[in-house]
Structure 1
Amino acid sequence: MAIKIGDKLPDIELQVMGEKGPEKVRTGDLFAGKKVVIFAVPGAFTPTCSKAHLPGFVVDADKIKAKGVDSIICTSVNDTFVMDAWGKAHNAEDLIMLADGLGEFAKALDLTQDRTASQMGIRSQRYAMIVNDGTVELLNIDAQGLDQTSAETILDSL
């Protein structure tokens, strides 16, 4: 069963790019005692993700943080190097680019999708959440498009 409002996020070890290379981080540490917006995309450098989803959060990062959000996290089933390069390509230095290279976080949330037909393998669904101290307060999922998961929609929900 997919994660839902009121559930605690699982504590899983993932990676971010640090000054000296990939660094392990625990999701429990990223969310503990903080209000966080996290959004997931099916793939870095893919059309909708690169043209609309990530850029919206980059543009609205200050507005989102002004509403009491401690951090904004972008996650995808991509490796740390890809997430880092994608973040740099879109000036996403105010966001945490969280690599879910093996899809463990997406699987634990039960928010995966099978993209093997298009040679992408198992990926994350497109979603956005507002999380307070590790507990899901809002969960929006888009099967197509960005109606529910855009930065603008999340900003309006804060």
Structure 2
Amino acid sequence: MSRSIARVLTKRIGAAPPSRTLSSTLYKQASIPLFSTRSQLQTITPALLNTPRINTLTQRHFSSSSNRMTLSVGSEVPNTKSLWEEKPENVVELPTSGKYILVGVPGAFTPPCSDHVPGYLSNYEAFAAKGYKDIYVVCVNDIFVVNAWKKQLSEANPDHKVHFLSDRSGDFINATGLSFDAAGLLGNVRSRRFAAIVEDGKVKDLKVEVNPPDIEGTKAENLLKGL
């Protein structure tokens, strides 16, 4: 798939294509994941993305996921043992005590997510000063894509201590109720964009964006104001 099609896709819906197959050249350049089959490429085109059917489909998926949301203020953060950090099978369990920030994004390397997450890297010390020394960024991409994305974003903020977690199976995001079914567009489940303030394993505050590309409500700077 050409980069131009990938850029159109990520710009319009804010989620990266499936990460099962990567071009070795693009992987080295920390580029976005590619579609793995020709049929997927034929299905997703710039013209198709402009159709009301696709736009309606995407909105319906996001609306339905909000109706089944289980993560809410006062609820416990689920423990699915599906989150990996840095390498395959290195399972991370989110803390059940203390304070931390949990951020969910639709896809690594997508323009909205690459604009959104750096705010948490650059403001890490500000969060830590308020007692939130752990920040977790979760997305439904495989661990190799997540690591490459972290490396790219860390160039501007090399000293941050933000955790980048892969929920490759989507089990964690599904358990939160903050997933949307992108099988018709991207081949798998993706996370809605959200930011949660968590204390002792329970959600103290939760911000969820209505539209995938939006980042204003879940920006690090805005979350800090509420601490």
* TM-score higher than 0.5: yes
Q: Give 1 or 2: higher strand fraction.
A: 1
Deviation at 1:58, TM superposition (A): 1.0
Deviations 1:109-144 (A, max 9, x none): 110112234325210000000000110001100022
% identical equivalent positions: 34
Correspondence for 2:132 = 69
Correspondence for 2:222 = 153
For residues 137 and 39 of structure 1, what CA distance do their matches in structure 2 show? Answer: 14
Q: TM-score, normalised to structure 1's length?
A: 0.89
Deviations 1:55-82 (A, max 9, x none): 1111111111111102000000011111
For residues 45 and 117 of structure 1, what CA distance do their matches in structure 2 show? Answer: 20
Q: CA RMSD in A?
A: 1.5
Q: Give 1 or 2: higher helix fraction.
A: 2
Unaligned runs of 5+ in 1: none
Partner-residue secondary structure (3-state), 2:103: strand
Larger Rg belongs to = 2
Amino acid across the alignment from 1:16: E
Correspondence for 1:141 = 208
Indicate the structure whose relative CO is greater, using CA pairs within 8 Å and at least 6 residues apart: 1
For residues 95 and 120 of structure 1, what CA distance do their matches in structure 2 show? Answer: 28
- Paired residue total: 152
Unaligned runs of 5+ in 2: 1-67
- Asked if 1:8 corresponds to 2:71, the answer is no
Correspondence for 2:59 = none
Q: Is the 1:114–1:123 contact (alpha carbons within 8 Å) kept by the matching residues of 2?
A: yes
Q: Is the 2:127–2:133 contact (alpha carbons within 8 Å) kept by the matching residues of 1?
A: no
Q: Is the 1:34–1:70 contact (alpha carbons within 8 Å) kept by the matching residues of 2?
A: no
Correspondence for 1:112 = 179
Could you say if the C-alpha distance between residues 58 and 120 of structure 1 is closer, same or farther in structure 2, counting changes exceeding 3 Å? farther
Deviations 1:73-106 (A, max 9, x none): 0000011111111111111641111111111111
Written as runs of structure 1 = structure 2, the 5 A alignment for 1:6-45 is 6-13=74-81, 14-17=83-86, 22-26=89-93, 30-45=94-109
Q: TM-score, normalised to structure 2's length?
A: 0.63
For residues 78 and 186 of structure 2, what CA distance do their matches in structure 1 show? Answer: 28
